[in-house]
Chains A and B, each alone.
Chain A
Amino acid sequence: MSVTTLPSRGMALRQPSWIARLFDYKPFLIVMCLTPAIGLLTVFLTYPLGLGVWLAFTDTTIGQRGIFIGLENFQYLLKDPLWWNAVFYSVFYTGIATIGKFALGFWLALLLNNHFPLKSLLRAIVLLPWIVPTVLSALAFWWIYDPQFSIISYLLVDVLHIRSTNIDFLGTPWPARFSLIAANIWRGIPFVAISLLAGLQTISPSLYEAAMLDGATAWQRFRYITLPMMMPILAIVMTFSIIFTFTDFQLVYAITRGGPVNSTHLLATLAFQRGIAGGELGEGAAIAVSMIPFLVFATLFSYFGLARRKWQQGEAND
C-alpha cells in the first residue's frame, strides 16, 4: 500500500517573497555584495586621490579657492632645484635603504629560521623596532644624532677616547642623508625579516635533505633552493618596502624637517612642507602626484622583475 501525501493548498500556492527572489538573482547579489566595498573605496581612496590630482592642476592655497592652471605647478617644479633635490634623495634613500633592509633582514630571517633556545622570545624582540610608533623611534634617533648629546659621540669621545670632537651627524648634507637612511633601515628590518622568515618556513626541509645527500654546499643550497623558493615573497615584500620607503615621512620630518639646507627632503616631506606649512596646496599636491610615476615604475620593476620570472612557471629564463 502506498500512501501519497498531497501538499496542502496553502503550501502549493506559497511562493518565495519578492525580496527572496531578488536576492536569488545573481547579478543583483553581486552588486549588493560589492557595493559596500566599492563605496568605501570611493569615499576613502578614489575621492582623496582624485581630489589630490585635481588640486595639482590648480593654484589652491590654504584659505583661498584655486583655479585650474593646467600644468603650471609641474612646470614650476621642473625648474625648482629643491624638487630635483627631493627626487634625487627620494630615489637614493629608497635604493640604499631597501638594499640595506633586505640584506640585513634576509640575513636575520635565515638566522631566526634555525633552531635555538628562546627562539620565540628573540623573534618577538626583533619585531620591536616595527612595533614602536615611528615618531617615538624618530625621537630616539634624533637624540642619538644630536650634535651635542649624541650617545655615540659620548662613547667615542668621553668613554673610548677615540675621537676628540663630537660627530656632526645632522649638520651637513651627506652625513645627515646617511643618518636618516640608517634610521630607516633599523626601522624596516623587522618587516623584512619577519616576512621572509614566514617564507623560509614554507620551504620543505626535504629539499634541503635531498640537496645535502647530493653533496650540495651551504651556498649551493641557498643559491639553488632558498633563493628561488623565496623569490615570490621577496618580490612582494620588496614591492611593499619600496613603497613604504619612498613615501616615508615621519622619520625625516621628525629628525631633520628636510634640513640641513633642504638636503634631506623626500618628495613626501617636501609636499607637506609646501602644501600644508607653506599653504600652497596646489603645488604640494603636484609634488605628491609627481611621486606616482616613481612608485608605479618601482612596483612594476619589482613585480615583473622578480615575481614573474619564467622559471617560476617551469620555464627557463630568456
Chain B
Amino acid sequence: MSNDITRREALALGASAAALAVTGASAQTASTIKAADVPPPKFAIEKGASLRMLRPVRFVQADEDVFRANAAKFTKDTGVEVKVDFVGWEDISQQTAVTSNSGAGPDIIIGFSDAPHIYIDKLVELTDVADYLGKRYGGWQPLAQKYGKRNKSDAWIGLPFGATAGPLIYRKSVLQSVGFDKVPEDHAGILDLCRKLQKAGKPAGFALGNAKGDGNGFANWALWSHNASLLDEEGNVVINSKETIAALNWVKELYPTFIAGTPSWNDVSNNRAYSSQEISLTANGVSLYFSLKNDPATRAIAEDSEHQLLPKGQAKISPMAGLTLNAMLFKHSPYPNAAKAFLQFMLEKEQYEPWLNANSGYWSQPLAAYADAAVWSSDPKVAIFKNTMNSSYYDGYKGPISTATGAVSADYVLIQMCAAVATGASTPETAAAEAEQRCKRYFRRQGRG
C-alpha cells in the first residue's frame, strides 16, 4: 500500500474519531422533505417559562453547533430561554437517575434507547407531540416506535431524535486479495473469510471487552444472527437456549481469527486498530469512516473502505439495533407546555433537517420523511446508515423493553458470555447458564411495578 501512515498518525487518528469536526453534507442543501399539512397541537406556553436540557455530548462538532442554533431560534421565536448542557455518554444514565429519583433538575433529558422505560412513572406523556409529528412526517420508524412507546400501548413516553448504527466496515482491497468481494451473509462464510484475513496478516477484530456500543453490538449480532435472543415475546429469559449455544460455538471458532487483545477492547479500540491498518474488518459507526476521510493522511484508507449491514446469518433481516437518542420530559418540570413546544420545534423540518445533515449520517432519522434528507445522497458509503431506525431489533429483543433490558446491556452480561467462551474460560453451556442466572436476577422484579 502506498498510503502508509506512521504509528503516531494512527494514534492521533484514533483519538480524532471521537472529535470529528468536519461534516459530510451541507446543511444548506435545498430541502426535499415532504411534510403533510397537519394542524400542530396548541401548547399554551407558561408565562416566564425557561427550560434546561441535558443531552449526550456530540460526536460530530456540527451536531452541537446546529443543535444550539436551533435552540437559540426557539428562544427567539417564543421568548423561552433554553439552556442545553452536553454530558458524556457514560454519565447521562447516572444523571437521569439522579434527576428522576430526586424530582429536580433538567426539564428534558435526551437519554439512550430504553431510558424512558426505566423512568416511566416520572415522565410526561408525549403522545400529542408524537402523533402530530408522525402524521406530518410520514410516520415513525419501527425502532422509534419500539423505544418511544410504552410497552403494548400507543402512549409515547419518549421522543426519539435519531439512532446510530454499527455496521461492518472493511478494506475492499484486502477482502479482494483473499477472494471476497464483500462479507458473506452466512456464518460459515464469515468464518472462512476471517481465517483467510488472518492468514493474510490483516485480521478482523470485534470488541469483546466491556464496550457499551461495539461490544454489545457484536454480542447481539452473534446471538440474533443465530436466532437466539435474551427474551421471548412474553418477557421470559430464554438466553440459555440451543440457539445461544450455537452462537457461542461459532464465536469460539471465530475468535482465534481476530487480532490479539479484543477481550480488552473498549469502544475506541477498533477505530484505532482499523485506522492504523492493523485490521481490515470490524463493526463501527460512520464516525470511523469520516475521520479517515477527513484526514489527508488516511483518505486512501477511507476510499478503500466499504460499509455493509451486519450479515444476516439465520435471521431474516440484518440483525442490527440502533443506539437511539430518546428525549424525556420530566413531571417535575414547571413548564411542560414549553418543553413540549420545544421538542416539537426541534423535530420540525426547518430545524431537524439541517441538524440531520450536519451529523453526516452519524444519527439517522426516526421519522420516515427525513429519509429524503440530503445527507443520505451526499456519499454512497454513508447511505446504508439511512435505515438504521427501520429495524425490528432492539436491546431486549424479542421481549418488552424494561429496566432490566437496559441493565443487562449496561452490565455487559452478553459480551462477557461471549468473551468467556471465546477465550476458553468457560464452555458454551456454562457461560449460557451463568448469563441466564445473571439475567434472571435483573428480570426478577419486572412485575412488581
Contact = CB atoms under 8 A, between A and B. Distances in A.
Interface of A: 59, 61-64, 76, 81-82, 145-149, 154, 165-166, 168-173, 176, 256-263, 273-274, 276-280, 283
Contacts of A256: 209-210, 264
B327 interface: no
Contacts of B219: none
B211 to A, nearest CB: 9
B411 A278 contact: yes
A148 B118 contact: no
Given A61-B403, A171-B264, A149 B411 contact: no
B97 A62 contact: yes
B42 interface: no
B367 interface: no
B261 A148 contact: yes
Nearest to A175: B264
B261 A170 contact: yes
Contact of B276 (A64, A149, A168, A169): A149
Contact of B261 (A76, A168, A257, A263): A168
20 contacts: A62-B118, A63-B122, A147-B259, A147-B264, A148-B278, A166-B260, A166-B261, A168-B260, A168-B261, A168-B264, A169-B264, A170-B264, A260-B209, A260-B419, A261-B416, A277-B411, A279-B97, A279-B118, A279-B406, A279-B410
Given A61-B403, A262-B416, A277-B93, 14 more contacts: A59-B445, A61-B445, A63-B97, A63-B101, A64-B448, A149-B276, A170-B261, A171-B262, A172-B263, A256-B210, A257-B412, A259-B416, A277-B407, A279-B118
B266 interface: yes
B425 A261 contact: yes
A76 B266 CA distance: 29
Contacts of A64: 403, 445, 448
Nearest to A62: B97
Contacts of A262: 416
Going nearest first, the 3 A-B pairs with the smallest beta carbon separation are A147-B261, A260-B263, A170-B264
B420 to A, nearest CB: 5
Interface in B403-449: 403, 406-407, 410-412, 416, 419-420, 423, 425-426, 434, 438, 441-442, 445, 448
A175 to B, nearest CB: 10
Contacts of A261: 263, 416, 419-420, 423, 425-426
B441 A149 contact: no
A168 B205 CA distance: 14
Given A62-B101, A261-B416, A261-B419, A171 B261 contact: yes
A61 B449 CA distance: 11
Interface string B371-410: 0000000000000000000000000000000010011001
SS of B interface (majority) = helix
Q: Is the interface of A mostly helix, strand, loop or mixed?
A: loop
Contacts of B266: 257
Nearest to B444: A59
B108 interface: no
A258 B412 CA distance: 10
A165 B101 CA distance: 50
A82 B420 CA distance: 12
Contacts of A63: 97, 100-101, 118-119, 122, 403
Nearest to A262: B416
A183 to B, nearest CB: 14
Nearest to B278: A148
Contacts of A263: 425
A260 B7 CA distance: 26
Contacts of B94: 276
A172 B94 CA distance: 30
Contacts of A277: 93, 407, 410-411
Interface in B72-106: 93-94, 97, 100-101
A154 B7 contact: yes
B273 interface: yes
B228 to A, nearest CB: 20
